[in-house]
Amino acid sequence: MELRDKVVVVTGGGSGIGRALATRFAAEGAAGVAVADLEADRIDATVATITDAGGRAIPIRCDVSVEAEVQALVDATVEAFGPVDLFCSNAGIAIGGGVEAPDADWQRIWDVNLMAHVYAARAVLPSMLARGDGYLLNTASAAGLLTNLGAAPYAVTKHAAVALAEWLAVTHGDDGIKVSCLCPQGVATRMLLGDDADAIADGAAPPSGDEAGQSSVLAAGAVLTPAQVADAVVAGIAAERFLILPHPEVGGYYAKKAADPDRWIGGMRRFQARLRAGG
């Protein structure tokens, strides 16, 4: 799919990967970009970046865990720019802990990391199917293909997001609907690095070691910038690739996991033990 003249929605567009996607899609010549997020000041900043560069964008405050707000987001986009060609369901949250995490935390992350993708598909698929054309980009995580040590709610919901994207691709591929699932590993966003992410977006180097308190992610490989992820997404959409892996090594890990799950689990247990020992 070529992005020029396409109408695009990006959730979580106020910062991090979402902001990078929205600004990059506009730079690629999108007809209009609807930038959605909970934080109005941040989406206003993203929209200003796009419009100052000559692009077209609108800010829409949206809680993606509420289906009515996702539908309203799509309706506002259609009113402003026309039918949605590409919906980037990118918003997500991280919650750590294991099965002991409170039920309220499990429900909240389920609603944002999975049900938001369901709501997005419900909102745009009827029009896309009627036209015989459309694209869904769902942001999951390498954790959805592998796991995330110390964060069961995050790993489980990202696995579910990958499964939904796969189902959509299989079910609607012959109807003209393209689906990609974005599965990055470490990215310099507020989810991983907190307030340090803003400095990195301004050109500071990503941290190494355990400076950000996210040892398992930081120890697993390079931390990319959101702009680098956006580069991978544009290339993946152009190729209409299902799995978009900004960290190519994730594909290798995924293949090893599939080939010998017991060996992979053993390796992950050893990795966990090293992290716990401070190695």
Q: Which residues are catalytic?
A: 154
- Residue 124 and residue 116: Cα distance in Å, rounded? 12
- Residue 279 and residue 194: Cα distance in Å, rounded? 24
* Whole-number Cα distances in Å, 228 to 20, 54, 145, 208, 258: 9, 22, 20, 17, 27
* Whole-number Cα distances in Å, 233 to 1, 22, 103, 104, 250: 11, 11, 34, 33, 15
Q: Identify the CA nearest to 276 among candidates 185, 215, 186.
A: 215
**DSSP state at residue 187:** B
CA atoms within 13 A on the CB side of 225: 13
Q: Give the pair of three-digit tokens for residue 69.
A: 């707000």
Strands 243-244, 86-89: pairing is unpaired
- Residue 163 and residue 118: Cα distance in Å, rounded? 11
Q: Is-contact 160 113, C-beta < 8 A? A: yes
The terminus-to-terminus CA distance of the chain in angstroms comes to 44
